[in-house]
Structure formats: structure tokens, C-alpha cells
Amino acid sequence: NGIGTIYIGNSGATNITDLADASNDQIVHLIFTNANTTLVSSVTFLLAGSVNVTPTAYSVVTMKRVHSSISGRWVEMSRSIK
């Protein structure tokens, strides 16, 4: 449990569809260092508006893992696109 931060700066185009090894109710801040990564909305990785997003450098997307007894999905809590 708890809050974590992941810095993401892929050298080429990369899709993220899930975050592995998550704890129930975990909150993760995804901080992007470039625009090479696309977050892909899906039934298990729920983004606002159900739309994929490609954050730019210095953008932050915050996700929460819903408890597995409810759904076990990641849900977007907030985003700040720079």
C-alpha cells in the first residue's frame, strides 16, 4: 500500500496498458520525462473519458488501484499535462 512515484522516459514509442505488482488501494504518480509513452485506456486501466493519452515532458498522471475484492482495476485520479 501507499503512494509511489514512477518516472517514465522511454527512448521510443511505448504503450502502457497496466502497472504490474500493485497493492490494493495503491496510488502511483506517473511522471513523464518525454512524449514517447502512451497510456492506453482499457477495462483494467481506466483513464478519464476512456481515451488514450500521450503525456508530454513534465506531465503527471495519478492512478489508484481499486481493491481486488471490488475490481482490481487501475483508475485515473488526476492528470496535469504540461
pLDDT digits (tens, 9 = 90+) for 59-70: 999 999 998 888
pLDDT tens across 13-63, in order? 999 999 988 899 999 999 999 999 999 999 999 999 999 999 999 999 999
Distances from the Cα of 70 to the Cα of 14, 25, 62, angstroms:
29, 11, 20
User: For residue 53, what is its C-alpha cell?
Assistant: 493519452
How far is residue 38's CA from residue 58's CA, in Å, rounded to a whole number?
Answer: 14
What's the predicted TM-score (pTM) here?
Answer: 0.92
